[in-house]
């Protein structure tokens, strides 16, 4: 490995050494930051555990306040009753049954004798005047409950945590003590419900430093004072909660602790874990990471050698890429189609020479322009969607758009866009587009569409086109809540016209009438069609009944004004038409089919003919409609 590195220039070797040193330094800093983060997380969790411990202790002590208050009130009420102890005993038993973790309630008189207790153990002959809590209340007028030192219950030998309250005689003198006893092991069992590892510990301490409870249970610690520990002399004087690192005086373990002091009762909770146990998993991971770091440093020399080789390979690859680029340009310049390359933002990076033939400008002029430039604005949305799909992962897209040439002429372009391999997606892509001018094909297609939808004789829309537009207009009218009117037009006595003047003249007559109809509708959304034979139809969207009648009357008058001879069309002697109108007024929940609207207009046309021809009739009078349409004579 060393031999492989020797041929490297000194500057390169120094740079590599500096990079490796920096890498190792970053790893070391990262490990230190990770250790601090791990410890901070442990500390935060322990502080929360300590807060939960203190909260539970506060709640437990508070549970004693209510039974004691009720007990003292009952004593004051039953003080002169002969069987008062028996009644008080019943009250205490009910209180114990309903209060979790409460071991017993008891009443001790002014001489230290137990007057009543909820316990079933006989307490006769026992005296409690030597208890610390008894001595305290005997000498103090304090009426509030007091949390005492942990002690052994004289009745059953269990460790208890006493909460006591003074009983005063009516004259204010000392009358005894009311006692609520909590089983200490029940409290420590709650502490051990938190997972602090096999070497973790909990401590509950009174505000004066007296140890009330410890888990794991350690009898020698109960009732002792730790007020001289720096937890009390330093930390608690600065803040009510926080982290606390210390060496345990009991087992000598280095511990990470979290403490919290209740603002309500002053109780202090301490939750602690063994530092070595808590950080064991992190230390194991750190060892693995350092081994990996050493391996990375060991193979750096190999990577440097590989780097030099990669430089040589990259140069060869770049030369190959230049050759392929030249080959691509040669192919593009020889193609009649326009070849373009875009970046992910749609900016042109290359155009083949055929851009002059298709766009009418030089390739240099188009470089750096956007794909949307000079495109018809109606096509911008479709092009943007195509580019978005390519950025999202599509490899091939097709589109047909309109573009304005340099000479102002609009052309149609068909483009196939292919996403090149590579790139990370999004705008970091390259796109090759092959574009051809399809204006001639588009024009031919449009001419075919016109022929397919236009009546050859009248140059109006044919019946097929009419039916398609009719369905669309009815749906649009319902959606927009706008009226839609239909005119049905029929040349009067047209069969007699053909019989008299011949079919060629009949065709001329239909063309003349159709020209009048076409010239009478000026809106682009209106549609005139030859429905069949001499019958024409006109669709007038957004037109009410009055507007339809006005339009129909205008057409009728203009046709009559042509004065085309028709000697059999009496009494006028010239060509006339009859028109039936029908209008659809959309309303909430209203539905109408094309067949129903057509039927109304057709029936109105029948009425116009039946009433003498050469007139306009409005449809829609359902009550007047016959069930069977009478035959119209001499159509």
Q: Where are the alpha helices (DSSP H) in 80-202?
A: 84-98, 132-139, 184-191
Question: Is 277 part of the annotated catalytic residue set?
Answer: no
Which residues have CB under 8 Å from 363's CB, separation 6+? 350, 351, 352, 353, 355, 356
Catalytic residue among 534, 567, 596, 599: 534
- Long-range interactions of 226-235: CB distance < 8 A, separation 24+: 231/259, 231/268, 231/270, 232/268, 235/259
Cα dihedral angle (347, 351, 357, 358), rounded to 10 degrees?
-40
Which residues have CB under 8 Å from 205's CB, separation 6+? 211, 212, 226, 267, 268, 269, 270
Residue 462 to residue 456: CA distance in whole angstroms: 8
Task: For 493, list phi and psi in degrees, rounded to 5.
Answer: 50, 45
Instruction: Kindly tell me the sign of the dihedral angle through the C-alpha atoms of 499, 504, 505, 511.
Output: positive
Residue 593 to residue 595: CA distance in whole angstroms: 5
Secondary structure class of 499 (helix, strand, coil): helix
Residue 316 to residue 425: CA distance in whole angstroms: 27
DSSP class of 376: -
Q: Do 72 and 165 touch, CB atoms closer than 8 A?
A: yes
Residue 448 to residue 39: CA distance in whole angstroms: 81
Alpha carbon distances (Å) from 385 to 202, 400, 405, 416, 424:
64, 13, 23, 14, 19
DSSP class of 83: T
Residue 630 to residue 621: CA distance in whole angstroms: 17
Percent helix, strand and coil across the chain, each to the nearest 5: 45, 25, 30
| Helix orientation angle between 300-333 and 280-298, rounded to the nearest 10 degrees | 70
Residue 549 to residue 543: CA distance in whole angstroms: 10
Catalytic residues: 534
């Amino acid at each position: 490995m060393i031999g492989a590195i020797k041929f490297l220039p000194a500057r390169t070797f120094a740079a590599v050494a500096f990079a490796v040193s920096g890498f190792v330094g970053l790893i070391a800093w990262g490990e230190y930051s990770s250790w601090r983060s791990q410890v901070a997380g442990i500390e935060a969790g322990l502080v929360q555990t300590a807060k939960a411990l203190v909260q539970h202790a506060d709640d437990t002590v508070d549970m004693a306040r209510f039974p004691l208050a009720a007990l003292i009130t009952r004593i004051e009420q039953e003080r002169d009753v002969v069987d008062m102890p028996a009644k008080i005993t019943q009250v205490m038993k009910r209180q114990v049954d309903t209060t979790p973790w409460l071991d017993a309630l008891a009443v001790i008189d002014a001489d230290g004798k137990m007057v009543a207790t909820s316990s079933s153990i006989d307490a006769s002959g026992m005296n409690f005047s030597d208890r610390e809590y008894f001595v305290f209340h005997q000498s103090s007028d304090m009426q509030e409950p007091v949390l005492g030192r942990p002690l052994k219950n004289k009745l059953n030998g269990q460790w208890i945590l006493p909460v006591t309250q003074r009983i005063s005689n009516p004259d204010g003198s000392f009358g005894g003590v009311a006692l609520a006893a909590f089983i200490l092991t029940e409290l420590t069992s709650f502490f051990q419900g938190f997972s602090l590892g096999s070497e973790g510990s909990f401590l509950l301490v009174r505000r004066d430093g007296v140890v009330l409870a410890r888990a794991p249970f350690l009898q020698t610690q109960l009732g002792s004072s730790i007020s001289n520990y720096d937890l009390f002399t330093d930390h608690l004087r600065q803040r009510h909660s926080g982290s606390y690192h210390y060496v345990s005086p009991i087992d000598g373990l280095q511990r990470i602790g979290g403490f919290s002091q209740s603002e309500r009762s002053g109780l202090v909770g301490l939750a602690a874990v063994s530092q070595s146990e808590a950080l064991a998993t992190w230390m194991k991971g750190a060892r693995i990471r350092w081994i990996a770091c050493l391996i990375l440093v060991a193979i750096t020399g190999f990577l440097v050698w590989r780097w030099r080789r990669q430089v040589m390979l990259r140069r060869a690859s770049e030369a190959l890429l230049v050759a392929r680029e030249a080959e691509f340009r040669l192919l593009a310049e020889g193609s009649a189609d326009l070849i373009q390359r875009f970046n992910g933002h749609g900016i042109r990076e290359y155009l083949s020479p055929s851009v002059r033939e298709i766009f009418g400008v030089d390739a240099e002029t188009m470089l750096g322009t956007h794909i949307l430039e000079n495109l018809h604005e109606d096509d911008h949305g479709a092009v943007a969607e195509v580019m978005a799909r390519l950025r999202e992962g599509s490899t091939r897209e097709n589109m047909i758009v309109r573009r304005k040439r340099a000479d102002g002429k609009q052309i149609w372009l068909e483009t196939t866009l292919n996403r090149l391999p590579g790139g990370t997606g999004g705008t970091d892509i390259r796109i090759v587009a092959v574009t051809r001018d399809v204006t001639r094909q588009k024009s031919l297609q449009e001419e075919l569409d016109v022929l397919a939808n236009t009546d050859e004789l009248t140059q109006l829309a044919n019946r097929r086109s009419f039916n398609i537009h009719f369905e669309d207009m009815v749906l649009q009218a319902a959606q927009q809540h706008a009226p839609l009117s239909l005119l049905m037009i029929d040349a009067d006595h047209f069969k007699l016209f053909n019989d008299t003047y011949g079919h060629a003249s009949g065709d001329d007559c239909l063309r003349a009438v159709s020209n009048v109809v076409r010239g009478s509708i000026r809106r682009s959304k209106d549609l005139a069609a030859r429905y069949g034979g001499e019958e024409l139809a006109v669709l007038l969207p957004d037109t009410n009944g009055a507007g339809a009648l006005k339009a129909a009357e205008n057409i009728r008058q203009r046709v009559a004004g042509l004065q085309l001879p028709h000697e059999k069309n009496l009494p006028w002697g010239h060509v006339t038409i009859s028109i039936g109108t029908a209008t659809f007024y959309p309303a909430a929940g209203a539905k109408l089919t094309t067949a129903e609207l057509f039927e109304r207009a057709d029936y109105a046309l029948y009425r116009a003919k039946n009433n003498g021809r050469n007139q306009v009739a409005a449809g829609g009078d359902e009550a007047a409609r016959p069930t069977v349409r009478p035959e119209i004579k001499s159509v």
